[in-house]
Homo-oligomer: A and B are copies of this chain.
Amino acid sequence: MSPLYKLTYFATPGRAEAIRFLFSYAAVEFEDVRIAYEDWPALKNQTPFGFLPMLEHEGKKAHQSVAIMRYVAKQVKLAGNDDWEDLEIDATVDTLRDCSSKFHPLRLETDEEKKKALLEQLFKETVPYFMRRFEALVQKNNGYLALGRLTWADLYFVASIAAGVKQYTDIDIIKEYKTLAELRTKVLENPRIKKYLENQPKL
């Protein structure tokens, strides 16, 4: 039998990696379709909005990585147990996204000196502001970002935030924050995540 879920994205971690982590962690088989950039124009019009990743499930198609991840998390029981618990997870994930988005202006900056200044300011102000608060959350939540247990917020954090920032700099933004580094290690050393990372196609 073919897997119940089909996830289509490019052959990079990007916006699909956290969803791949989620399927892997939950030990749910999924079709991990990785397309070449030259095949994208032909596929674009078959997606809901012209964007990837795309999830296909029971004959339906959906897009938007975080929305897909929230949906899958509910199916594999890595979401909240009630609406308020889901709110706690959602708020944390959106705050992680806010933190990543602070790095986006670097994309448009072509002046190397200005880029350097922007990056310095990010590491002096933005990163400590967010990371200290995320650390406090993890300390309060038994080593996880929310609800005192592993949820999709933790997988999103590990798969996305460091990877997202890595587009702009090689600095490991988590390293200095012990509690967060421990959470990352815990996720990356999970046997199913390890197996996923070892078996994924080389770039």
Residue numbers of A with Cβ under 8 A of B are: 48-51, 57, 60, 62-64, 66-68, 70-71, 74-75, 83-84, 86-88, 90-91, 93-95, 101, 104-105, 108, 129, 133
The reply to whether A91 and B133 form a contact with Cβ atoms under 8 Å apart is no
Cα-based distance from A71 to B129 in the complex (angstroms): 26
The reply to whether A64 and B49 form a contact with Cβ atoms under 8 Å apart is no
The reply to whether A64 and B108 form a contact with Cβ atoms under 8 Å apart is no
The reply to whether A75 and B83 form a contact with Cβ atoms under 8 Å apart is yes
Which residues of chain B are near A129, meaning CB under 8 Å?
Answer: 50
Given A104-B104, A133-B50, the answer on whether A64 and B84 have CB atoms closer than 8 Å is: no
Which residues of chain B are near A95, meaning CB under 8 Å?
Answer: 49, 51, 63-64
The reply to whether B49 and A70 form a contact with Cβ atoms under 8 Å apart is no
Nearest B residue to A87 via CB reads B71
Given A75-B83, A84-B71, A133-B50, the answer on whether A91 and B62 have CB atoms closer than 8 Å is: yes
Which residues of chain B are near A94, meaning CB under 8 Å?
Answer: 64, 66-67
Neighbour of A91 across the interface among B50, B63, B74, B84, CB < 8 A: B63
A80 to chain B, nearest CB (A): 10
Cα-based distance from A91 to B57 in the complex (angstroms): 15
Cα-based distance from A105 to B68 in the complex (angstroms): 27
Most buried by B among A88, A90, A104: A90
Which residues of chain B are near A68, meaning CB under 8 Å?
Answer: 87, 91
Which residues of chain B are near A57, meaning CB under 8 Å?
Answer: 84
The reply to whether A91 and B64 form a contact with Cβ atoms under 8 Å apart is yes
Cα-based distance from A86 to B74 in the complex (angstroms): 11
Cα-based distance from A70 to B108 in the complex (angstroms): 32
Nearest B residue to A133 via CB reads B49
Neighbour of A105 across the interface among B48, B90, B91, B105, CB < 8 A: B105
